Amino acid sequence: MGNWSSVMSNPKRLWLPNSLLQIAVQTLLRRPWQSVLILLGVALGVAVMVSIDLANASASRAFELSTEVITGKATHQIIPSGIGIRDDVYAQLRRSGTLNLAAPIVSTYVSIPTIKGQAFQLLGIDPFVDRLFRDYWMPDSFSGQAFFELLTRPGTVMVSTTLAERSGLKVGDELVIEAAGRQQSVRIAGVLQPSDRLAARSLEGVLIADIATAQEISGKVGYLDRIDLILPSQNLAVIEKIQSRLPPDLRLETVQARQGSVRQMTEAFQLNLSALSLLALVVGLFLIYNTMTFSVVQRRDLFGAMRCLGVTRRELFFLVSGEAFIIGLIGSGLGILLGVLLGRNTVGMVSQTINDLYFTTTVQTVGIPVESLIKGGIVGVLATLGAAIPPALEAASIEPRLALSRSGLERKAESVIWLLAAGGLLLSITGYLVFQVPGNHLVFGFGGTLLVVVGLAMFSPLLMKLLLTVLRPALEKTFGFLGNMAPGNLLNSISRTAVAVSALMVAVAVTIGVSLMIDSFRFTVTQWLEQTLQSDIYISVPGFNANSSFLPIDPLVVEQLKMRDDIERLDTLRATRAISQVGEINLSATFNPQIGAERIFKEAVGSADQITLAMQEGKVIISEPLANRARLKVGDRIEFQTPKGSRPFQIAGIYYDYASSEGSVLMWQDVYRQYWEDDAITAIGLRLKYGINPDEAAAQIRAGLQTNQNLLVRANATLREDVMEVFDRTFAITSALRILATLVAVIGILSTLSLLQIEKQRETGILKALGVTGKELWRLVMLETGLMGLIAGLLAAPTGFVLAIILIEVINLRSFGWTILLSINPMAFFLAIFIALGAALTAGILPAIKMNRLSAAEAIRYE
């Protein structure tokens, strides 16, 4: 390597000379097919990554924008544990001088029947103090009259310019909105003129009303949702003083912490997506490595000659890297474009899921986050360069005097096979050990997964060699000399075929793994629903969160239902958010005497009846994700801030639950009411008398209820379908991703095979000259590709299984805290082998046609 230092000491030669750059470009142009395939591989990998990153970034941005306008300049918030902050508590806090810079907020999500699919936030503010908190007011936003109306006229709101323009609304118009299930008409008092485009976006889904109006519209008369504060962050004494003066059920939190905890919930979900999106790129890297290696091998003679002409090792290294760089650049560019196109779908899918599961965003258009594009481009180019380093080094290692035969590389490869397998074993074990790192870190989870997958992929050459050797005699018997020749060809070029097989194997294994995980998850959720949803009809207020509604049902509804004679039992539930030692969590209060039997318990104090009894005595049961997240066990206590002070509740059981990864707590309703003095109800479960059709009863109830509230009355089966719809929606993007990864792998196979066949043109010519027919040639190619596909599929099956177990036991448990029961559908394996075979055979068609077209003479003359 003496030449390296000489190059380094001669700065003029540090850069690739133009002539070499020309060589690089010409090489790419001379093999358009090859170049297109490799570009496509890079582009797809980058596109998938960019589209997911776009989706994640958009979702985060939508969250930021949605909260920005709502949080404004507030540094802290006072939040209630349970129903809300009573009006008089706020007045008292102000009058006692506890609160100085404070703004009360009543907020609720509303929908506008004429605008489908968007949530709007009705933000009730006290304009007298809000000016200091939120700067959505511009001097020209409204006339004095508008402000006067907003303040004094019931049912008046200010809307954003966007909404006004979209719906053709002007000042004085009436707009029908639906809040807490009630349709009501509001009057436009004015149109907010945001100061810039960003402000316009964050205001897009906001309706601003006086706090009195917001209370009246949302049905929260008498209560505030929170109090915003501006406090000097460094002054802990002030903060402590305020906290000490708050009633026991109120808590002072920093805005940062509050948003952080919401963020944290989505982080795991987003990280999972990012990890999966990187997979396409990883598969793409195999492809780049493979192609670049080929092009180096093909040009060994050339490189040998160039070395004789005085081209240095460094220059050769740069030549190959330069090619990779050009590919990376163009491929990434295409990938970004493609990613933005794909992003149109992914952004919608990801925000839908986040809205379903985590929080409601009112912002829809966030624009394209440029960082995602830049990130995608950089990663794409660097990854391409990285994958090209081994072939570049290979090129640089060529000795000038020796134009080694191609098989030289293969001989080397054979010795490497065992090394690789040993390395693979080492990696897999390391991966396994990484899982054992205490602390449940998700990053370690993904790191370990990557190690295991790459480790298992490194076994491919060895297993391929063994399989081919074993299969060869049988194949020869079945297919004659072609049956012998095909595995031989593969073995002779194992350094390249194995990489293609590995890439396909990884892609297919991921398909199997993810399918198994989703199937198991689906199965688990179905079973859980079976156990949990035992009523015949469910009634709730429509909300924006797919999981649970905290909106109270009109109390008259219960009275009316009690008068019906087709109902055997009526269970009520009060769901709310309460503050515990682990932060704000869902707290539900139930009256269901069979609650102990209607949950599947992971751990509990005793039988179903004993659990119910324990709850009636004041204990609670908590969901598995909460138990995992907060490391709580049966017998431990969970402490809630209640209006009557801080109260510990002993845990009587931990039940499986898949409704929220944040977790929830179930309490007996009498116990809840004793502490919270709140008799609102957010869900009703009805059990019908024997022989009554739930669908018909539901329809009857829907039609018969005398209330101005628009309620969701769903038969058991309908509710289940709705839940499963959300489930499938959640995994729609995952399915799309694994298909894309497989697509990249197919391209890899296609490109590998084309290259292999091109390389073997001479041999093909000889074969033709020896009288091998076109049909036989077809068979040969198909045998070769079929074998590659088969081996990839066979290897993918166990790898996929291992991956499924990792996804279930490590990734899901760490990300969301829930246990998924492994349910194996053998079809997944068959499907995987089928996909691998199909992909490989498809990839063989083109090379086969090409080979057949060549006449023997032409083929031999080629060289």
Partner 1 sequence: MNKIRTVLVVGLGLFALVLGWRWGFASQERSAAVQTSIIGELNLPGEGKFVRAEAPMVFEFPKDHGAHNDFQTEWWYYTGNLASETGRRFGYQLTFFRRAIVPPDMRTGRPSEWGVEQVYLAHFGFTDVENDQFYASEKIGRGAAGLAQAIGEPAYQVWLDDWQVVQIGDNQYEMKAKTDQVAIELELRNLKGEILQGDRGYSRKGEEAGNASYYISQTRLETRGEIRILNEQFEVSGLSWMDHEFSSSALGEDQVGWDWFALQLNNDMELMLFTLRKSDGSIDRFSSATLILPDGQTRQFTSDQFLVEVKDQWKSPKTGAVYPSAWSIRIPSVDLILDLRPLVSDQELVVSYIYWEGAVYAEGKIGEQIVSGYGYVELTGYGQSMRGRF
Contact positions vs partner 1 (CB under 8 A): 87-88, 90-92, 94-97, 126-129, 131-132, 137-139, 141, 143-145, 147-148, 151-152, 154, 210-213, 215-216, 221-222
Nearer to partner 1, 80 or 817 (CB): 80
Min dist. Cβ of residue 158 to partner 1 (A): 12
Beta bridge partners of residue 538, listed in sequence order: 685, 714
Min dist. Cβ of residue 169 to partner 1 (A): 21
Min dist. Cβ of residue 91 to partner 1 (A): 3
Beta bridge partners of residue 109, listed in sequence order: 121
Nearer to partner 1, 95 or 197 (CB): 95
Which amino acid is residue 516, in one-letter code? L
Min dist. Cβ of residue 186 to partner 1 (A): 15
CA 293 to each of CA 320, 323, 329, 484, 559: distance values in angstroms, whole numbers, following the listed order? 10, 12, 19, 26, 77
Nearer to partner 1, 151 or 404 (CB): 151
Min dist. Cβ of residue 218 to partner 1 (A): 10
Beta strands (DSSP E) in 38-87 are 76-80, 85-86
Min dist. Cβ of residue 554 to partner 1 (A): 15
Min dist. Cβ of residue 580 to partner 1 (A): 30
Contact 778, 852 (CB under 8 A): yes
Beta bridge partners of residue 227, listed in sequence order: 78, 104
Structure tokens at 392: 């570049």
The pair phi, psi for residue 682, each rounded to 5°, is -115, -15
Nearer to partner 1, 223 or 523 (CB): 223
Count of residues for the chain?
863
Nearer to partner 1, 129 or 846 (CB): 129
Min dist. Cβ of residue 665 to partner 1 (A): 31
Min dist. Cβ of residue 112 to partner 1 (A): 22
Listed residue (381, 274, 382, 386) closest to 332, CA to CA: 381
Contact 85, 250 (CB under 8 A): yes
Nearer to partner 1, 130 or 315 (CB): 130
Nearer to partner 1, 132 or 329 (CB): 132
**Which DSSP string do the residues of 789-811 spell out, in sequence order?**
HHHHHHHHHHHHHHHHHHIIIII
Nearer to partner 1, 124 or 391 (CB): 124
Nearer to partner 1, 86 or 702 (CB): 86
Structure tokens at 212: 């009195």
Min dist. Cβ of residue 134 to partner 1 (A): 11
Min dist. Cβ of residue 125 to partner 1 (A): 11
Min dist. Cβ of residue 543 to partner 1 (A): 22
d(CA 383, CA 390): 12
Listed residue (2, 33, 195, 202) closest to 751, CA to CA: 33
Nearer to partner 1, 98 or 274 (CB): 98
d(CA 701, CA 570): 13
Nearer to partner 1, 122 or 287 (CB): 122
Min dist. Cβ of residue 564 to partner 1 (A): 30
Nearer to partner 1, 224 or 512 (CB): 224
Contact 689, 566 (CB under 8 A): yes
CB atoms within 10 A of CB 832: 29
Nearer to partner 1, 193 or 254 (CB): 193
Which amino acid is residue 125, in one-letter code? I
Min dist. Cβ of residue 213 to partner 1 (A): 8
Structure tokens at 774: 């076109």
Beta bridge partners of residue 587, listed in sequence order: 576, 665
Q: At what angle do helices 716-759 and 313-357 cross, to 10 degrees?
A: 170
Min dist. Cβ of residue 227 to partner 1 (A): 13
3-state secondary structure 125-189: ECHHHHCCCCCCCCCCCCCHHHHHHHHHCCCEEEEEHHHHHHHCCCCCCEEEEEECCEEEEEEEE
Nearer to partner 1, 133 or 649 (CB): 133
Nearer to partner 1, 227 or 316 (CB): 227
d(CA 567, CA 537): 10
Q: Taking the chain, what is the end-to-end CA distance rounded to the nearest angstrom?
A: 32
Contact 719, 534 (CB under 8 A): no
**Which DSSP string do the residues of 311-363 spell out, in sequence order?**
--HHHHHHHHHHHHHHHHHHHHHHHHHHHHHHHHHHHHHHHHHHHHHT-----
Nearer to partner 1, 132 or 856 (CB): 132
Listed residue (377, 381, 394) closest to 324, CA to CA: 381
Write the DSSP symbol of residue 812. Answer: I
d(CA 289, CA 297): 12
Min dist. Cβ of residue 541 to partner 1 (A): 19
Listed residue (378, 397, 262, 256) closest to 320, CA to CA: 397
